[in-house]
Amino acid sequence: MAIQAFSGGKPVSIIVNNAGTGSLFTSITHASEEDFDRIVRVNLKGTFLMSRAGIRLMLENGVKEGAVVNVSSTAAQSPLKGVASYAASKAGILGLTKSMAQDVAGTGIRCNAVLPGYTETPLSGHLSDEDKRQLTSAIPLGRPAQPREVANVVAFLCGPDSSYMLGACVLVSGGTVL
């Protein structure tokens, strides 16, 4: 199994589902079914498959303190115009996270989600300068997040200081969504 190979033979105790994709801003009237399927397959189904495999391994290996962190998006709670497929996939991650948290409660495995807002990543590289200005103008802190700022929250959710958090959906949005 790929997860076991990646862990170097050590028991897996942390899974971070961060793979994601999107598309250019497209009205629901022009969104293709193929694009929708691709986005849901990568964002939601990928999160489901990796979470299921990781949790199974943690349970099989008797991991006492495990963490699954799913990266969603503020689009799950407050989507912009033209991102229906992306928003649906990221909202699905929230439901999946909360359901998984209930399933593994009491096993020592915690499942939580992070909801980043506009973050400077390769995924945002396709945005026009005007789109970037508009997105930034809606952020009370006045700038997009840097990947390390989101990563710090993910690391917190993977560590012992978040041991009483289960099914939490943590916003990292610079105040865009409150």
Catalytic (active-site) positions: 86
The residue with greater pLDDT, 168 or 1, is 168
The residue with greater pLDDT, 9 or 145, is 145
Kindly report, residue by residue over 95-120, the tens digit of the pLDDT: 999 999 999 999 999 999 999 999 99
Question: pLDDT value at position 1?
Answer: 59
Tell me, what CATH number does 25's domain have?
3.40.50.720
Confidence band of 22 (pLDDT split at 50, 70, 90): confident
Closest CA to 17 of 51, 56, 65: 51
Confidence band of 129 (pLDDT split at 50, 70, 90): very high
Question: pLDDT value at position 43?
Answer: 97
Q: What is the DSSP letter of 128?
A: -
Question: pLDDT value at position 24?
Answer: 75
Q: In terms of pTM, does the model score above 0.75?
A: yes
**Domain enclosing residue 69, as ranges:** 13-172
Closest CA to 79 of 119, 29, 25: 25
Average pLDDT, the chain: 94
**Residue 4 CA from chain centroid, whole number:** 22
Whether 86 has a pLDDT exceeding 80, the answer reads yes
Number of domains the chain is built from:
1
Burial class (CB within 10 angstroms; exposed 0-12, middle 13-18, buried 19+) of 124: middle
> Is there a domain that residue 7 lies in?
no
Q: What is the mean pLDDT of residues 68-90?
A: 96
Confidence band of 164 (pLDDT split at 50, 70, 90): very high
